[in-house]
């Protein structure tokens, strides 16, 4: 049977990809990577929602206000002592 993983944490939230407005990244105190700046608004919203979930998961985990950067392979770069994942689909984003 499935069991909870000790120390694991999931943060998720709903978002509307049509409601991204100029300044949302700044209001959320997040940097928009150049690769995301060139993306359509839907992708920008997905990125923002996922990174907000990741930041909240890190805060709940140990109090850090860390937002994973984007690696060369486009995967999130987590702190060395954290194993995490970010996902999004059809108006939902999550980080664990």
Feature table: binding site: 43, 51, 87-88
CA dihedral 66, 44, 84, 69 (to 10 degrees): -50
Binding residues for CoA: 43, 51, 87-88
Residues 88, 71 contacting (CB under 8 angstroms): no
Distances (CA, A) of 13 to 35, 57, 90, 94: 23, 12, 11, 6
Q: Which of 44, 23, 19 is nearest to 33 (CA)?
A: 44
């Amino acid at each position: 049977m499935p069991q909870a993983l000790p120390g694991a944490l999931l943060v998720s939230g709903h978002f509307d990809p049509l409601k991204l407005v100029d300044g949302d990244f700044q209001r959320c105190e997040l940097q928009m990577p150049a690769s995301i700046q060139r993306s359509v608004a839907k992708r920008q919203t997905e990125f923002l929602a996922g990174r907000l979930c990741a930041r909240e998961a890190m805060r709940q985990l140990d109090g850090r206000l860390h937002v994973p950067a984007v690696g060369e392979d486009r995967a999130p770069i987590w702190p060395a002592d954290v194993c995490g994942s970010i996902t999004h689909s059809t108006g939902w984003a999550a980080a664990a």
